[in-house]
Structure 1
């Protein structure tokens, strides 16, 4: 049988525990034997946010990224090799990852931290003598922990379980739910999809009032009430609860309707062109980070920019690039095409979405780094597209859906091109063609933000083709079982009751 890759990496040895994190007390400040103060719990919750690269491969599963074997330099240890298993949709995508697929374990570890905060924060002592202030901080941290737990479970269920279908959710296995803080060595089995999503919704419904009633101003790398509402709108969209999705998304936009406006950049001839770049600078690539937490439309950012692992400019680091298919999908006059990507002198498409402010000046480099923006982001644009998709599913909802699409698109097009190439007309659509347009718009807007794979799964699960190092391409067939990722082997080894996903 022909080997697909030049190198294969060994899987990591079996881990010693699953779900419970016995060592979490080691994470709190020194000389503390147990969590006592609200500050201790806040630090533990900060650990749960996981500011490290754990999911750099998810966009490789999609049609938004291509592998160019000709750019691979065998003199170097290419980081790209680590992710070929994911790019080629191996039955086990971790086959080429030196440490295996770490998402499952690290996200459940994060969930364990949130469980500790939820269960124990009510007994925490304040760092000041103000009892009301202490109670307020307790309430907010508890709500924040509920929101983060929901965020983690939504990712896990959309990676390691089938997409949600209301007709079959009560009989379709999902993922394990662990709400405990004990370190008991016991098996964990899967809950049905309806129960997993029910847990996510319940957590968010608890999170929102707790954070609103005990409001604390936090940075955007932590959950706020509006970010939790935006997440709930996303959950309802995935559940095909159109009316509830509309209610939540409208609620968010009612509080923050801002969109990232590209119209002025569209008038700048420097950015709006196809000239290849030999280097990046403020002069030839003007603008600021599209996903920066400084932007008013950005509601929540999580982790670090993991794209540097796959889209870095160093030859020794990557031979992955934004795909030609994605690059050509933008209409004439759509400024996003040039704000997100530009060709270099080798005619390779380079990623630019995370151009980023540092201190006072704009700092451009040819290589991405983990310090340049984020890849997990929630922003108001998503609410407009949730509204468009939800209304597209409703009787007589086409006009309203198109209205939301146009509100968003007008901000992303050069003014002179919007009327001719950007503005959509309700009479041009059926329900089916409108949905296809909404899904395409999501692709254009959310590229490289870890949303495309989830959208492919929950909509059409189309056939995709990827070319790797060998002549034979990899094919992900329509409705392929590999649209559900395999449970990592180290987790199955210590907890076989979970059961492997079918192949």
Structure 2
């Protein structure tokens, strides 16, 4: 494949220049002068992206439906739902993510160069580990939004994203977009170097940084997408260990006595909860769009999906009394949200109702990591179905209404009986009768054997769907497994996303394309 070169003035906006004209007229030289180890920790605060792809992933996925033209929406929401190329510069748009991630990458690179200049003394090893993991994380977010799913057989034929490892000293810089294979190789290299260096002792507020468990949870998810099953298990073990009951969220205990939305969401995002590994803040309206707010209701987690495919649906996860989260669905029927994203508004002009929407989210939890491990157990060369089922049952126990000492674990026999009896959902869903919990899997680069193996994967993907609701994680699983699905359109024929549809790679921001970078292909 040709390497694509770009004069990327857009990326260099990440060097904190005062204005667009200053940027065009001046070589960026106003960075922090790092002359001692004490400067790295403050700099690395800005190595975490301030915008996240939650809304892009969620609106593109099968978690949402068109509830009807009588409800309101925003342009970005509609474009994502219809799999059109987004055009705006909103915080939740491709532009917002691109800018925020490369800003964060620039901070990580500046810290790494400062450490190199000091000779990488022992007292900055932990900060070096954090910088490398942060750099890998931002590139990972970009790759999974703007690239096709990773497939070892085709990754060298698909476009990657520019992997930036240095700070820039010139205004106009040539970047190679490269291949997806190269992007993943470089993410892996940063993780492999950075992970052993992470030290919890270096943080004053542990969960707002890539601490050891959070970094390993990120690595487990990355290796899952990279199809390195043994590495997934190894990293997840460091997070969960052999006694998941000590680290998973206990839903009945955490939420059973709560009634106020504010209390539920505060409990869900609390840094005191062992299950919460990394807590992030972001500029985003995602909490308003997907959460318990009576706005933006046209495209959402509507009743048809809620009752037949997600939270209110009977399935193997119901063996211990049903999901605790079902008790806290707020009565916005077009969204059916569980309050899991803290949302607040920062006014810059209160009189005119102008300001910024902020969210507090939990990008990595033990609950999602155990499902990464379960999936890896199934797909590894050992095909350890019993270990996978053990992780699944632990997830079910602690998400359920009935306490852990009641009920019975799910068995492989019960699992097979349930899924073998289900029809596959067609790619084109015309009526609610077409909806099914069983999807046709077309995995990218690996094989899922029929029978118990496929049934386990069907269940794990369903639990991942429940775990990642409102966070956009379902989109990546749909991509990884080549699941074909449709979006209904009120008053129109549904549209289908096939397994090879290039729109599975969301289009780059128009500004980036106009600057000369090769756009993602479209049919």
Give the RMSD, CA atoms, in angstroms: 3.6
Distance 2:516 2:278 in 1: 34
How far the C-alpha of 1:37 sits from its partner, in A, is 4.4
Alpha-carbon shift at residue 177 of structure 1 (Å): 1.4
Q: Partner of 2:439 in structure 1? A: none
Q: In the aligned structure 2, how far is the partner of 1:370 from the partner of 1:178? A: 29
* Residues 288 and 105 of structure 1: CA distance in aligned 2, closer, same or farther (over 3 Å): closer
Do the aligned partners of 1:226 and 1:299 also contact (CA within 8 Å) in 2?
yes
2:89 corresponds to 1:93: no
Give the TM-score, by structure 1 length: 0.77
Deviations 1:85-126 (A, max 9, x none): 111111x1336969763222321222122111111135469x
Return the offset for 1:260: 0.8
Query: Cα distance 1:230–1:255, how it changes in 2: closer, same or farther (>3 A)?
Result: farther
CA distance 1:155–1:340, change in 2 (3 Å): farther
Counterpart position of 1:61: 60
For residues 139 and 214 of structure 1, do their structure 2 counterparts lie closer, same or farther at Cα, with a shift above 3 Å needed?
farther
Aligned equivalent of 1:198: 185
- Structure 1 residues 415 and 502: CA distance shift in structure 2, 3 A: same
Aligned match of 2:212: 225
Matched ranges for 1:26-45 at <5 A: 34-45=33-44
* Contact 1:292/1:373 (<8 A) preserved: no
State the distance in 2 between where 1:212 and 1:265 align: 29
Asked whether the 8 Å contact 1:218–1:224 carries over to 2, the reply is: no
Aligned to 2:461: 439
Change (3 A) 1:33 1:294: closer
CA–CA distance in structure 2, aligned partners of residues 477 and 192 of structure 1: 22
2:301 to 307, 322, 330: 322
Q: Is the 8 A contact 2:53 2:97 kept in 1?
A: yes
Higher strand share: 2
Q: Which residue of 1 aligns with 2:412?
A: 426
- 2:496, 2:373 → 1: CA distance? 33
Following the alignment from structure 1 to structure 2, what is the Cα–Cα distance between the partners of residues 222 and 208? Answer: 13
The answer to whether structure 1 residue 261 and structure 2 residue 250 are counterparts is: yes
Distance 1:434 1:493 in 2: 45
Residue 252 of structure 1 is aligned with which of 210, 233, 239? 239
Q: Distance in 2 between matches of 1:225 and 1:417?
A: 28
Uncovered stretches (5+) of structure 1, i.e. residues with no partner: 1-14, 126-133, 272-279, 359-368
Shift in Å, 1:245: 1.0
Separation in 2 of the partners of 1:22 and 1:195? 23
Question: TM-score normalised to the size of structure 2?
Answer: 0.74
The verdict on how the C-alpha distance between 1:474 and 1:70 changes in structure 2, with shifts beyond 3 A counting, is: same
Q: Deviations over 1:15-35 (max 9, x none)?
A: 9823234643769xxx98734
Q: What is the CA–CA distance in structure 2 between the aligned matches of 1:357 and 1:494, rounded to whole Å? A: 34
Q: Secondary structure at the match of 1:464?
A: strand
Go from structure 1 to structure 2 and tell me whether the alpha carbon gap of 1:424 and 1:208 turns closer, same or farther (over 3 Å shift). same
Indicate which of 449, 453, 458 corresponds to 2:480.
Answer: 458
Q: Which secondary structure does the structure 2 equivalent of 1:101 belong to?
A: helix
Q: Which residue of 1 aligns with 2:512?
A: 491
Distance 1:476 1:314, change over 3 A: same
> Structure 2: where are the runs of 5+ without partners?
1-6, 20-29, 345-355, 417-451
Question: How many residues are treated as equivalent by the alignment?
Answer: 445
Q: Counterpart of 1:19?
A: 11
Does the CA contact (< 8 Å) of 1:289 and 1:356 recur in 2?
no
Equivalent-residue separation in structure 1 for 2:363 and 2:161 (angstroms): 24
- Which residue number corresponds to residue 330 of structure 2? 342
